Amino acid sequence: MRGLLAFVAGIVGAVAGAAGLGFLLAFVFIQIYGAFEGSAAMGGFAIGMPLGAVIGFALGLWPVLHRKASSHRPTLAWLAASVVTLAAIGA
């Protein structure tokens, strides 16, 4: 159960991290290079999304795997809230 919970938390973190860092780097690259064609794609999609997914997956795994308590109810509650929030944002 703990492994599955950690994997799902990692996936949620990867989705949130990829979106967040992708948007951030797309904005930064547009500010640096202007509206030149491809600056947002280069910063957001090519660099930000893969890097954000890796960082988000690691940050999603960490709290679940380092939890000492036997009850996973608070972790499940946070994970469910994160999934609902991501689904609401994506809709």
Q: Is the pLDDT of residue 2 over 80?
A: no
Helices (H) and strands (E) in the chain, counts: 4, 0
Q: Alpha-carbon distance 53 to 58, whole Å?
A: 9
Q: Alpha-carbon distance 14 to 20, whole Å?
A: 10
Q: What does pTM read for this prediction? A: 0.71
**Contact indicator for 44, 13 with CB cutoff of 8 Å:** no
Encode pLDDT of 5-61 as tens digits. 888 888 888 888 888 888 898 888 888 888 777 878 888 888 888 988 898 888 888
Encode pLDDT of 55-83 as tens digits. 888 888 887 777 766 666 777 777 788 77
pLDDT in the model for residue 44: 83
